[in-house]
Structure formats: C-alpha cells, structure tokens
Amino acid sequence: MIQPAATDLITVTIDGKEIAVPKGTNLIEAARQVGVDVPFYCYHPKLTVVGNCRMCLVELGMGAVDPATKAPVVDPATGRQRINWIPRPAIGCGTSVSPGMHVRTTTQMVKECREGVMEFLLVNHPLDCPICDQAGECKLQEQATGYGRGYSRFVEHKNVKPKRTLLGPRVMLDDERCILCSRCIRFCKEVAKDDVLGFTERGSYSTLTCYPGRKLENNYSLNTVDICPVGALTSTDFRFKMRVWFLKQTNSVDAESSAGANTLVWSREGAIYRITPRQNDAVNDVWMADSGRILYKEVRAQGRLESVRVNGAESALGFAVAEAAGLFAKGGVAVVGSGRSSLEEQFLTRKLAVALGAPARLVSRVGEGDGILVSADRNPNVRGALVVGLISSLPSASLESLGAEIDSGKTTTVVSVGEDLAAAGLSAAQLAKVSVVYLGTHANASSAAARVVIPTLTVFEKSGTFVNQQFRIQRFAKAVPGAAGASEDLLALAKLVAAAGGPILGADVGSLWRAIAAEVPVLATMSYADIPDNGLLLDGSAWAGLPFAEGPALHYAPAGGAPREAAGRG
C-alpha cells in the first residue's frame, strides 16, 4: 500500500483529549477522531464551508503564556498550563486546528448554543415528522433529541411556505421543512457544475428556488436529496413509498458505467425502493448519478425472462444445458461475453470459450462521459474481462466479424451471455441462420430468436465483482432474491462449461474465487471475502497501453495514470 505523504501534524486538545491531526483539519473532523460528536447541519466534508447553521459552535481556548517571558502560565491547582477561554463561541466547521488550541464541547455555553440553534430551527419547522419521508434519517430529529430542550416556547404562528415545489423532474421541495443550510446550492455549483439553485426572499422567509427559467434537472440532482439534512428535498421516485427504517441496506456498485460508483440498495421483502450512493473517497466520494438510481426498476420491469425455453417451449435448466451440449458438439460455436457481466461470470465465459475452442468477443458501449461519475464506457466491467483474460484488446461496438463468420457458415452456434446480438449489429437473417444460446434477464430480439433461453439475474439479485475504470475491483452483493424462474448466472455458466467438456467448477462466488485466484495472476492471493467494501486497486499496468474510452473525471485520470484524488473538487 502506498503511504500518503507526510503532512504537518498539529496537536489540539478536545474535551481534554489530545490528538494530532493534519494541518488544515477543521474542529468537527478533529473532534470526530477523538470520539467527540460536534453536531452540524450545513457543514459537509465534500462541500465548501459556509458556517450558516451555527450548530457546531464550540468553545475555544489557548494556553496562557506570560506576556513578558513567553513561558507557559501554570495553574497551581492542576499543575498544568492555564487556558484562556475565549468568551465568544466559534464554529467548528470553519475553524482549523492551530497549535496549542483547546476545545470544549461540553460546557454550559456550548449546551446553550446548541439548544438555542435547535429551538430556532424548530420554531418555523412544520414538525410533520409523521408524514415526512426523512423521518428516521433526519438530522433535525436526531439532533433535536440529542441537543434540544425537548419543549417549545413558541406560541406565534409559524411561517407558511410552499409545500410542493417541483424543482426538477426528480426533486420535490417542501419549503417549510427547509432549514436553509445551502448544501444543495453548493452541491449543484461545486460538484454537479450546474449552478441552478439559490435563495430568494429574506430572513426567515427565505425560499429555495431555481434560477428563473431553469430547472434542477442535471443527472446529479438526487444527490441534493441525499445531503439534505431534513425532509425539504425528497425524491419524486421514493417519496411516500416506504419508511426508511423498514429497509435493508445492501452494498452494491452502480452498473451504468465503468466509473463504478459505490451504492447502497435499499430493499424490503424482496422489493427495491431506492438506491443511494455509498461513501468511497477514492471513487465517488458520496455522490452518484440519477441515472444509476433507477436501474433497480429493471428487476420488476416488463419483459423479464421468467422461464427456461428450448426451441420456444418452456423447459428446465437441465434440458436447456443438454440442448446446448448438442449444439456445442456440432462445433462452429462463437461466444459473445459481456462487459456487464461480473468478473466471475466473465471468468466462466472464458472457460466456456476455451472449452469450446471458440473465439470470445465483447460488445462495447461507448457514450459520452460527463466528467463526474458517468464515464464514457457504459460497460461497468470491460476491465474485468481483460483481467480474467476473456479478451485481450478492447471490444468494438458491433459484431461485424461475427456476422461475417455466420454468413460464411463458419459459425453455426452463438452463445450470448446477456448481449442482444441484434442490437450489436447482427441482422435478422444472420440470427435466423445460427442457433443462439441466450442467457439474459430481459426479452429482446436475441431471446426471441434463440433456440435456448436461460433467464438470469440482474445485478441486484446476485453477488460478484466489477473492475472499474481505475482498475479497482469492487464487490456488489445480492440485495433481493432472484426472479422466479431465473437461474443463477454462475450456475448456468458452470453447467454450460461442463457441457462443453470443460472443468467442473464451483457455481458460487466463494468457491469460484479459488479457481480465479489460482489462474488469474493479478488476482492471485485474493479471495472474494477479503475484498474491502471500498474496493481494492489492482495492478492494471499490463493494459495501460490500451486506448480506453474514459476521459478525466472525478478521481480518475486517463492514460494509466494514478487516480486523481482531488479531481472535480473546489
């Protein structure tokens, strides 16, 4: 592991505990490291500091020194240096550590400051927690409990503000709940680079709004919902659907591009309700694109393949594999793998191709990168295919060469692992000419034309790994049970490998990884269970010369360079 460069450490004392932290660290972060909670609303570690909520007020002091000799003044009672406490509280978010600084967070003054801010935030707050989506993950609720007085002295009328303002297609604003922390404004300006939000009106009547004629419709708009500390911004998709405390959280990875944003999939009783970003400071910080959040809808989308079919008739996996074995025996087989498959599936796909002596191809999906978290390569795992040796060069967008082989009669059977061959450029005539063994999740032209159809699982229904653009291997876990009638991808592939005369391989991720670690040099000594939650950077130097499609983005610099840690910030 590469050690970070040594930085100047500054020692501060927080509630009597000494800690050395890097220069420039603010008091909230320093306090966090000694286990002291400094509450806040407007502060966000990934955004600029504005210091407007005043919740993080703390008491500061400096060690007393004799003005003449500069020698520390020792308090005879304690035998330690006396501390001159500053009577005016300071914000923890906007105050950087300085040598010899002392901080108190448990004094009466700090307690009163927090009680005061809490009371002020609540006087015009609607207190509609029973119908608020944020309930259960609301900072205002948590900190009112932790730091508030617990009763109200407010007998006036509360301010009335708009309750349902659509800021954009995916974000709804309840103005009465807004505490004007400006996190969403700063996010749009600083991270999404789409300066579209601002306040109008003054004082307590201030209102969040879009600039005239603009909408909050950039592809990162839902991050504002995530960072909203209260229930002011809600997702139109998730709004009023489910109480958050009923939801199970599963670690996953955004499969929409090779950026590989880390995600949390929130589900209950087999149904997914939302996807939110999961913090990974080396990949996506705490952000993800809106487009990745709706991917869960594919799980219950129309056209989901629900049964094994052989020659159009409903069948079972065993018969399908036997039918495929018959086709394999005739020879002339080609394998089309997928950059959307997990690394484990790609490993098995390679095994299948090797067993069949067939060439393996991938279909590339290159679009335009947004420079943030949707990269140009819309396949999440092309690098996985490189790592396991399924392919050795970057795929092309169409299967022209395969089409030519079909036309020439060289190829008579095509195994497609999740790729729609028609969409990848094969004509209807070509599809009609070959026997297709199709593994996939949703019906399409290939599944319609296939002799053997094996329904498989979406990324939310299985576990595995993707290798993102940084060559970082990241795990995703099964969030919900697979659709009825669908086969485990690994099981189906392992059976096909065996049917093709290949080795008998484990069909679960754990046992498969023993084979992977043994065969794939880059992954040697690794196991699935040992991959950290925030991924592991692989040695991608062997492929550094390939002309990858991705451009510079958050935490990514192309041309085999090291990930740019601070990219896209400030």
Partner 1 sequence: MPAPEQRRLIFRHIDEEGYSNDLACYVRNGGYEVLRKAVQRKPEEIVDEVKKSGLRGRGGAGFPCGVKWSLLDRKSGKPIYLVVNADESEPGTFKDRYIIYRDPHQLLEGSVITCFANRVERAFIYIRGEFPGGAKILERAIAEARMANLIGPNILGTGYGCEVYVHRGAGAYICGEETGLIESLEGKRPYPRIKPPYFPAVLGLYQCPTIVNNVETLCHVKHIADMGGEAYSRIGTPNNTGTRIFCVSGHVRRPGYYEFEVGKITMGQLLNDVCGGPLPGRRFKAVIPGGSSAKVLKFGERFKGKRKAGSEMVEYDWGVEDIPMDFDSLAMIGTMGGSGGVIVMDDSASMVEALGNINAFYSHESCGQCTPCREGSLWMKKITARMVHGSARPEDGPLLKSVADQIAGRTICAFGEACAWPTQSFIAKFGDEFSGYAQKKAAPRPDGVPELI
Instruction: Compute and round to an integer the Cα radius of gyration of the chain.
Output: 28
Alpha carbons 358 and 330: distance in angstroms, whole number: 12
Question: Measured from the CB of residue 15, what is the shortest distance to partner 1 in angstroms?
Answer: 20
C-beta separation of 546 from 393 below 8 A = yes
124 sits near partner 1 (criterion: CB under 8 A): yes
> Of 154-162, 217-225, 369-377, 405-413, which part binds partner 1 (CB under 8 A)?
154-162
Question: Measured from the CB of residue 24, what is the shortest distance to partner 1 in angstroms?
Answer: 11
Residue choice 142, 201, 314, 400 for contact with partner 1 (CB under 8 A): 201
Token pair for residue 274?
């939302």
Residue choice 206, 249, 307, 364 for contact with partner 1 (CB under 8 A): 206
180 sits near partner 1 (criterion: CB under 8 A): yes
Token pair for residue 386?
């490189």
User: Residues 375, 377, 382, CA angle at the centre, nearest 5°?
Assistant: 125
Alpha carbons 319 and 568: distance in angstroms, whole number: 52
Pick the closer one to partner 1 by CB: 40 or 460: 40
**Of 257, 254, 127, 232, whose CA–CA distance to 182 is shortest?**
232
Which residues face 233 on adjacent strands? 173
> Of 24-32, 59-67, 199-207, 296-304, which part binds partner 1 (CB under 8 A)?
199-207
Torsion angles phi and psi, residue 417, rounded to 5: -95, 80
55 sits near partner 1 (criterion: CB under 8 A): yes
> Of 194-202, 313-321, 447-455, 468-476, which part binds partner 1 (CB under 8 A)?
194-202
198 sits near partner 1 (criterion: CB under 8 A): yes
Pick the closer one to partner 1 by CB: 79 or 87: 87
Q: E-assigned strands of 76-193?
A: 80-81, 83-85, 90-91, 101-104, 165-166, 171-173
Q: Which of residues 78-117 bind partner 1 (CB under 8 A)?
A: 87-89, 91, 94-95, 112-113, 115-117
Token pair for residue 116?
């005061």
Residue choice 13, 81, 107, 159 for contact with partner 1 (CB under 8 A): 159
249 sits near partner 1 (criterion: CB under 8 A): no
Alpha carbons 60 and 95: distance in angstroms, whole number: 10
Question: Measured from the CB of residue 32, what is the shortest distance to partner 1 in angstroms?
Answer: 20
Task: Report how many residues bind partner 1 under the rule CB under 8 A.
Answer: 39
47 sits near partner 1 (criterion: CB under 8 A): no
Torsion angles phi and psi, residue 393, rounded to 5: -135, 170
Pick the closer one to partner 1 by CB: 204 or 541: 204
Task: Provide the CA 506 distance to its chain's centre, in angstroms.
Answer: 29
Question: Measured from the CB of residue 57, what is the shortest distance to partner 1 in angstroms?
Answer: 6
Residue with tokens 């809106």: 290
406 sits near partner 1 (criterion: CB under 8 A): no
| Beta strands 435-440 and 452-455, pairing class | parallel
C-beta separation of 44 from 55 below 8 A = no
Residues at the interface with partner 1 (CB under 8 A)? 49-55, 57, 87-89, 91, 94-95, 112-113, 115-117, 119-121, 123-124, 153-154, 156-157, 159, 179-180, 198-199, 201-206
